[in-house]
Amino acid sequence: MFANPHSWAALPKDLQDLVDNAINGEAPQARADLKSVNESLQADLTKRGMVFNVPQLDPFRAVLGGNGYYKDWRDKLGVDAWAVLEKYTGKLA
């Protein structure tokens, strides 16, 4: 969620918590819905003859790891956020 920090700070704490909980509570379902729609759309388009290319990720990850990209972002985000990211992507750096 993004918000103007001055406007956000002006809200009472209980209202901030309400908005934060509503958005974070809905995010997993929204992601699941989007994944489902994408999968069904891809299946439908594949049946109609469309071909989807699936890139090999390892060569991209090797370049990004070798040039310090992952290390820079790990340092910027912090170890906790990086651990959450790697929970879904696998080891990056």
Domain ranges of the chain: 11-53, 55-93
Percent of the chain with pLDDT over 70: 99
At residue 87, the pLDDT reads 92
Q: Read out DSSP for 38-88?
A: HHHHHHHHHHTT-------HHHHHHHHHHTTHHHHHHHHH-HHHHHHHHHH
Tens digits of per-residue pLDDT, 35-76? 999 999 999 999 999 999 999 999 999 999 999 999 999 999
pTM: 0.53
Tell me the pLDDT band of 2, cut-offs 50, 70 and 90: confident
Does residue 93 have a pLDDT over 90? no
